[in-house]
Amino acid sequence: MTTSPATPGAIARAADILRAGGLVATPTETVYGLAADAANPQAIARVFAVKGRPRFNPLIVHVGDLDEALRHADLHDNAVALARRFWPGPLTLVAPRRAESSVCELACAGLASIALRAPAHHVARDLLAAFGRPFAAPSANRSGHVSPTTAAHVEAELGGDIDLVLDGGPCAIGVESTIVAIDSAGAGTLLRPGGVPRAEIEALIGPLASPRDGAIEAPGMLQSHYAPRARLRLDAEAPRAGELYIGFGAHDHGAHTLSRVGDLTEAAARLYAKLRELDATGADTIAVAPIPAHGLGEAIRDRLVRAAAR
C-alpha cells in the first residue's frame, strides 16, 4: 500500500517527497491530484510518464493564494476579481505566463500561458504550506480515464507507480475545476466547465466565449476523455434489456442514482465513483438519465459526453 491517512506527519513526509522530486497523490475538493514540484522538470516528466499523458497537454499549477499566483502569471483585473471571489476553490485561471515564473516549461507544455488554481481542500493547502512552493497536479488517473474521487481509486490505478497517496476521504465536489482563460485584454473563455457554475463567473466578468471551433485550447477538451470501458448511452429515459441504469431525480429505475432528489451537487460528487462502480461489473452498456444543463449540470453533461465518445 502506498496510501496513508493525511495526518500532519504524513503531510510533512509528502512535502519531503515533493522536494526530492517524487510524486504524491493528494485530495483536493474537486478530484484527487497527482502532485509534483512544478519547478522540477524530472519530476514533471515522471507525471507525464505515469499518466501516459501526451506532453502537449499542460498541467495545472497549484498555489496557496493570489499573491503566489501573481508571481507566475500576468493577471488582468478580471482574473484578479475571479481569484478573489472563488479562491481557494474549484476555479483554474489560464493567463499569460511571466518570464520570472519558476514553473518549468514542461509543466506548461511550452505554452506562453499558465494554468493556476488555489485549492480549498485542507490537505492540499497543508501540503502547499509544508512544501512552500507550487506543485503541478493533474488528476491522479491514467490519461483518458475517469478521474479519482477517493484514495482507493488512486491506489487501484496508480498505487504501484507513485510514492505516496494521502487519504483525505472522498472529494466533496467530485468534478474537476472550471477552467477560464483570461487574456491580456480581460476577455474570458470557458475552456472547461467544472466546479464553479458558468453563471457565477459571468455574473462577475460578463459572458464567456467558447474555445474556437476545432482549436484545442485546453487539450483536456479532447473528445474522448473521462472514459470508462463500458459504452455509455446518455439522456436515457429508461434502461433497455441488458443495460445498467444510472438515475437522476424522477428518472429512477432501481439501485443506482446520481441523486434521488435531483440535486446536481450530490450528482457531481457521486458521478465518477458511480461510473467506476458500474464499469467494474463488466457491463457492456451503462444508460444514464437526462441531467439538466444548468449549474453543475453543465460540467456533469460535459464529462458524460466525453466519457461516451469513442
The phi and psi torsions of 106 (rounded to 5 degrees) equal -60, -40
Residue 113 or residue 257: which is nearer to ligand TXA going by CB? Answer: 113
The size of the interface with ligand TXA (CB under 6 A), counted in residues, is 29
User: In which residue are the cell numbers 467558447 written?
Assistant: 210
Helix (H) or strand (E) segment spanning residue 232:
strand 231-233
C-alpha gyration radius of the chain: 19
Task: Kindly provide the b/e burial profile for residues 68-96, where b requires at least 16 CB atoms within 10 angstroms of the residue's own CB.
Answer: bbbebbebbebbbbbbeebbbbbbbbbbb
Q: Hey, how many other C-beta atoms are within 10 angstroms of the C-beta on 286?
A: 25
Question: What is the DSSP code string of 217-231?
Answer: SSGGG-SS-S--SSE
Closest CA to 201 of 134, 299, 271, 72: 299
User: Residue from 2, 28, 40, 259 that binds ligand TXA (CB under 6 A)?
Assistant: 28
Q: Which stretch binds ligand TXA (CB under 6 A): 12-20, 29-37, 76-84, 152-160?
A: 29-37
Closest CA to 39 of 61, 7, 11: 61
User: Residue from 11, 23, 30, 246 that binds ligand TXA (CB under 6 A)?
Assistant: 30
37 three-state secondary structure: strand
Residue 2 or residue 113: which is nearer to ligand TXA going by CB? Answer: 113
| Cα 221 to Cα 240: distance, rounded to the nearest angstrom | 30
Residue 192 or residue 256: which is nearer to ligand TXA going by CB? Answer: 192
Cβ(170)–Cβ(150) under 8 Å? yes
In the bound complex, what is the minimum distance in angstroms from residue 236's beta carbon to ligand TXA?
A: 27
User: Residue from 6, 93, 179, 271 that binds ligand TXA (CB under 6 A)?
Assistant: 179
User: Which does residue 287 touch among Mg ion, ligand TXA, none (CB within 5 to 8 A, set by kind)?
Assistant: none
Question: Applying CB under 6 A, does 157 fall inside the site for ligand TXA?
Answer: no
Residue 10 or residue 175: which is nearer to Mg ion going by CB? Answer: 175
User: Which does residue 244 touch among Mg ion, ligand TXA, none (CB within 5 to 8 A, set by kind)?
Assistant: none
180 three-state secondary structure: strand
Residue 22 or residue 220: which is nearer to ligand TXA going by CB? Answer: 220
Q: Which stretch binds ligand TXA (CB under 6 A): 38-46, 171-179, 201-209, 272-280?
A: 171-179
Which residue is nearest to ligand TXA, using beta carbons?
220
Cβ(136)–Cβ(59) under 8 Å? yes
Question: Applying CB under 5 A, does 78 fall inside the site for Mg ion?
Answer: no
Number of H helices, E strands in the chain: 9, 13
User: Which does residue 279 touch among ligand TXA, Mg ion, none (CB within 5 to 8 A, set by kind)?
Assistant: none
The interface mask with ligand TXA, positions 34-63, x = CB under 6 A, is -----------------------xxxx---
In the bound complex, what is the minimum distance in angstroms from residue 295's beta carbon to ligand TXA?
A: 17
Question: Applying CB under 5 A, does 139 fall inside the site for Mg ion?
Answer: yes
Residues that bind Mg ion (CB under 5 A): 139
- Applying CB under 6 A, the residues found at the interface with ligand TXA are 28, 30-31, 33, 57-60, 90, 92, 94, 108, 111, 113-115, 117, 137-139, 176-177, 179, 191-192, 217-220
